[in-house]
DNA sequence: ACTATTTCCTGGATGC
DNA sequence: TGCATCCAGGAAATAG
């Protein structure tokens, strides 16, 4: 499940491979579900655009596009800028392959590149989303955790009665943290996932911010090496190997105190914690 | 203005 | 072996 570190890794891989390439044409599947913008709008924005850069915003992959349809640099003209935004959801993948490669099941979009390759969006569960933004810069919501300072972090939770776990997952507050990294961060900070956000002390929140950054940085470092080829061909090959300390370890001994890890459900999400280490 | 719950979707795991 | 059921999860929609 791609969260911030996976999306970061994927965006870097894409940037390396497709920056500078030009989109010749776009095919979009008949199922409209994965499209946030209309198919016509997406095609209109993408076709004949040059991919300037690819970057991550929260859990979104953003392709920065420049208008290439007028041909080589007319002097004095400013390139029209737009963005193609991809959210991978749970099972979405962006695949770079040769045009003759077999089209996998659940392929919802095929972008033909001037280099002869294709960029394909494959997503069995269809939680992923494709959209475009013109003129205005795509707005992703909350703050980037890796760029947050303590003051901006504290404000997010001020007066919130919701469990801290839910607040961490709220993309309008903090963008990019998903279920796995929320649990792992809370464990490292010694905070129970059900604690009401507003009841957590400044010191504890400082520890939490440090934990969030630490976990994300570790995962990016590890993920970078293990899924660097994720966007190629069939990709997948088992996500990052960040060793989870609580996530998915229900009933197993806490790595610190040996107490069995508990699993509870918060807002429909399974949440794992050590009842002894986390208060 | 918030917060909690439901919904979308399919493949893989589980159970009888 | 086959079939039904449950579960995973991000974020939008809905309900309270």
Does A238 contact strand B, using a CB cutoff of 7 Å? no
Q: pLDDT 10s per residue in chain A (279 long)?
A: 788 888 888 888 899 899 999 999 999 986 655 566 678 888 889 999 999 999 999 999 999 999 887 655 555 555 668 999 999 888 888 989 999 988 888 899 999 999 999 999 988 888 888 989 886 667 767 899 999 999 999 999 998 999 999 999 999 999 999 998 999 999 999 999 999 999 999 999 999 999 999 999 988 887 655 544 454 444 444 455 567 899 888 888 999 999 999 999 898 889 999 999 999
- What's the CA A121/C1' B10 distance, rounded, in angstroms? 16
The pLDDT value given to residue A241: 56
- What's the CA A247/C1' C5 distance, rounded, in angstroms? 25
The pLDDT value given to residue A232: 44
Does A5 contact strand C, using a CB cutoff of 7 Å? no
Name the residue among A95, A122, A109, A84 with its Cα closest to residue A17: A95
Can you give the three-state secondary structure of chain A, one letter per residue? CCCHHHHHHHHHHHHHHHCCCEEEEEEECCCCCCECCCHHHHHHHHCCEEEEEEEEECCEEEEEEEECCCCCCCCCCCCCEEEEEEECCCCCEEEEEECCCCCCCCEEEEEEECCCEEEEEECCCCCCEEEEEECCCCCCCCECHHHCCHHHHHHHHCCCCCEHHHHHHCCCCECCCCHHHHHHHHHHHCCCCCCEHHHCCHHHHHHHHHHHHHHHHHHHHHHHHHCCCCCECCCCCCCCCCCCCCCCCCCCECCCCCCECEEEEECCEEEEECCCCCC
Does A1 contact strand C, using a CB cutoff of 7 Å? yes
HSE, CB side, 13 Å, CA atoms: give it for residue A134.
11
Sign of CA dihedral A267, A270, A275, A277: negative
Active site residues per annotation of A: 2-3, 59, 269
- What's the CA A137/C1' C15 distance, rounded, in angstroms? 32
């Amino acid at each position: 499940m791609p969260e911030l570190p996976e999306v970061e890794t994927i965006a870097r891989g894409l940037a390396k491979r497709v920056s500078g390439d030009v989109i010749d044409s776009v095919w979009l599947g008949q199922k409209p579900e994965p499209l946030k913008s209309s198919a016509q709008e997406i095609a209109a924005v993408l076709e004949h655009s040059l991919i300037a850069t690819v970057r991550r915003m929260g859990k979104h992959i953003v392709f920065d596009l420049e208008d290439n349809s007028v041909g080589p640099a007319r002097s004095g003209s400013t390139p029209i800028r737009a963005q193609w935004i991809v959210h991978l959801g749970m099972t979405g993948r962006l695949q770079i392959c040769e045009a003759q490669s077999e089209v996998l099941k659940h392929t919802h979009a095929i972008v033909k590149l001037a280099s002869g390759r294709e960029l394909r969006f494959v997503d069995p569960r269809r939680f992923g989303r494709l959209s475009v933004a013109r003129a205005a810069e795509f707005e992703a919501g909350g703050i980037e955790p890796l760029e947050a300072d303590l003051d901006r972090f504290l404000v997010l939770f001020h007066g919130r009665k919701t469990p801290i776990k839910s607040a961490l997952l709220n993309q309008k507050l903090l963008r990019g943290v998903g279920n796995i990294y929320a649990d792992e961060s809370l464990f490292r900070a010694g905070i129970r996932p059900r604690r009401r956000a507003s009841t957590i002390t400044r010191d504890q929140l400082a520890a939490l911010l440090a934990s969030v950054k630490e976990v994300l940085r570790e995962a990016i470092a590890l993920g970078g090496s293990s899924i660097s080829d994720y966007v190629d061909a069939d990709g997948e090959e088992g996500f990052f190997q960040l060793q989870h300390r609580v996530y998915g370890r229900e009933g197993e001994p806490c790595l610190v105190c040996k107490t069995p890890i508990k699993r509870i459900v918060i807002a429909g999400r399974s949440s794992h914690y050590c009842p002894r280490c986390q208060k």
